[in-house]
Amino acid sequence: MDHTLDQKRAMHSLERVKEIEKKHKNQGNGQFADDYAGYVVRLPADILSNGLGQALAQLLAAAKDKKEDPHRLVYQDLQSWLCRDDEKAPYPGAADLLEAIVSNDRRRYQWALAEALAWLEWHKKLSVAYLKKSEGESQ
């Protein structure tokens, strides 16, 4: 079956959200999942205010050197979309998203920016639906 690019965005996002739900929320670490969803919700505004590269650098700075940090996971999830091995990806096969952004041309950057915002539309909605704590929820 052939899927549209938007369907592929939704499938990738849902896969990432379900993995976080399984690994964190369902394992008693609902705060991690809730924090992740909160960072995803704020990321598009950060990108529009500061630019894609600076918004991503902020995520890495907030994560410090911690491997299991929701900031780092948001970065890695967006990287897995923008750097996937696919001709429809802005940076196919790139090992690091920030390095790809700074070492490529303006056209690719604009493509990555548009693609990041399109993917984040799905990711915001799915993160809130599956990961965000509801009012009064303690975990």
Report the CATH number at residue 118. 1.10.520.30
Residue 69 is assigned to a structural domain of this protein: yes
Residue 14 is assigned to a structural domain of this protein: no
Residue 52 is assigned to a structural domain of this protein: yes
Residue 111 is assigned to a structural domain of this protein: yes
Which residue range forms the structural domain that includes residue 33? 25-131
pLDDT in tens, 19-72: 999 998 777 778 999 999 999 999 999 999 999 999 999 999 999 989 889 999
pTM reported for the whole predicted model: 0.93
Q: How many domains does the chain have?
A: 1
Residue 100 is assigned to a structural domain of this protein: yes
Residue 55 is assigned to a structural domain of this protein: yes
* pLDDT at 136 (0 to 100): 55
Residue 84 is assigned to a structural domain of this protein: yes
Q: How far apart are the first and last CA of the chain?
A: 39
Residue 31 is assigned to a structural domain of this protein: yes
Yes or no: say if 93 and 83 are a contact pair by the CB < 8 Å rule. yes
